[in-house]
Amino acid sequence: IGQELHPQYGTKTSAL
């Protein structure tokens, strides 16, 4: 898994 934009968090997550 790379980096995706999560609008519910408003930040990017990597390897989650």
pLDDT digits (tens, 9 = 90+) for 1-16: 566 766 666 666 655 5
Give, in order, the Cα–Cα distances in Å from 13 to each of 1, 4, 16.
9, 6, 6
The pLDDT value recorded for residue 13 is 63
The pLDDT value recorded for residue 11 is 66
The pLDDT value recorded for residue 10 is 61
The pLDDT value recorded for residue 12 is 64
**Residue type, position 14, single letter:** S
